[in-house]
């Protein structure tokens, strides 16, 4: 390979590399010099490879006939008025479409996901299964091991098939339209406050077409706590 003489006597490797790319080869270039320029431009950095998602079997979308038979969860993203990003972790019961929680934060890693679900289990009892997608938090070793220890089956949907988690996708659209897109939020605390008020109305007053016009908690009531459930069974 050659380098043009005259105007580049200061040995400007980057400019020389541009000339090489343009097809100008006038003065001899050494492989060592080309490699140095290559490294300076960061072209030697390895490409990030995407983690392959394992093949998933299609799981039938069935609502269940009792609460805690199956939960569904999903993440959403939005931003505050000042541009700061935040996430929401939405969890519903598939049987009565009850929204069990919407956890909100700037970051919700696997450990926080586990902590949130553990709190729900302490309050409502453990579900038989959870329907979810293949996000990194849900496929992490910590989370999958936690679910196995709890005896909870993880029903992963197939990649690129959000319709296989249709109950929570429908819930997400409602929450997006009525809360996230309806307000300009100044703080995470404001998002949480408005969301909690909306959740009470959604679960206790909002008619739901798929539930015969009843709100979730009237369509299929649940005992409030694990302690209440134990007392009722022993009565």
Shared-domain flag, residues 115 and 227: yes
Residues 120 and 203: their CA atoms lie apart, in Å, by: 16
Residues 235 and 231: their CA atoms lie apart, in Å, by: 6
| Within a domain: 133 | yes
Domain count, the chain: 2
Show Cβ contacts of residue 196 under 8 Å, excluding neighbours closer than 6 positions.
Answer: none
Question: What is the domain extent for residue 40?
Answer: 1-46
3-class DSSP assignment, residue 106: coil
Residues 34 and 25: their CA atoms lie apart, in Å, by: 13
Shared-domain flag, residues 133 and 198: yes
Residues 8 and 28: their CA atoms lie apart, in Å, by: 13
Shared-domain flag, residues 201 and 127: yes
pLDDT in tens, 102-111: 999 999 999 9
pLDDT in tens, 128-170: 999 999 999 999 999 999 999 999 999 999 888 888 999 999 9
Residues 104 and 47: their CA atoms lie apart, in Å, by: 33
pLDDT of 51 reads: 54
**What string of pLDDT tens digits covers the 235 residues of the chain?**
444 444 444 455 556 556 555 555 445 556 667 777 777 776 656 666 555 555 555 666 676 778 999 999 999 999 999 999 999 999 999 999 999 999 999 999 999 999 999 999 999 999 999 999 999 999 999 999 999 999 999 999 988 888 899 999 999 999 999 999 999 999 999 999 999 999 999 999 988 888 888 989 888 886 555 545 454 444 4
3-class DSSP assignment, residue 157: coil
pLDDT of 6 reads: 47
pTM, two decimals, is 0.71
100 touches 71 (CB < 8 A): yes
pLDDT of 112 reads: 97
Shared-domain flag, residues 98 and 211: yes
pLDDT of 117 reads: 98
Shared-domain flag, residues 132 and 188: yes
pLDDT of 159 reads: 86
Residue carrying the six token digits 């380098």 = 3
């Amino acid at each position: 390979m050659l380098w043009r003489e005259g105007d580049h006597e200061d040995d400007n490797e980057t400019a020389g590399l541009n000339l090489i790319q343009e097809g100008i080869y006038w003065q001899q270039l050494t492989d060592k010099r080309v490699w140095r320029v290559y490294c300076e431009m960061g072209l030697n950095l390895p490409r990030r490879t995407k983690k392959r998602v394992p093949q998933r079997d299609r799981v039938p979308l069935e609502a269940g006939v009792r609460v805690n038979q199956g939960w569904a969860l999903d993440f959403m993203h939005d931003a505050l008025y000042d541009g700061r990003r935040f996430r929401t972790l939405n969890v519903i019961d598939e049987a009565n479409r009850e929204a069990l929680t919407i956890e909100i934060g700037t970051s919700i890693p696997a450990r926080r996901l586990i902590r949130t679900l553990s709190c729900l289990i302490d309050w409502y009892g453990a579900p038989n299964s959870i329907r979810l997608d293949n996000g990194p938090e849900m496929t992490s070793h910590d989370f999958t091991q936690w679910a196995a220890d709890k005896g909870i089956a993880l029903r992963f949907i197939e990649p690129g098939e959000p319709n296989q988690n249709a109950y929570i996708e429908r819930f997400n659209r409602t929450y997006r339209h009525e809360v996230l897109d309806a307000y300009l939020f100044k703080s995470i605390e404001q998002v949480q406050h408005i969301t909690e008020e909306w959740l009470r109305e959604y679960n206790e007053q909002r008619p739901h077409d798929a539930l015969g016009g009843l709100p979730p908690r009237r369509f299929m009531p649940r005992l409030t706590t694990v302690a209440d459930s134990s007392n009722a069974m022993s009565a």
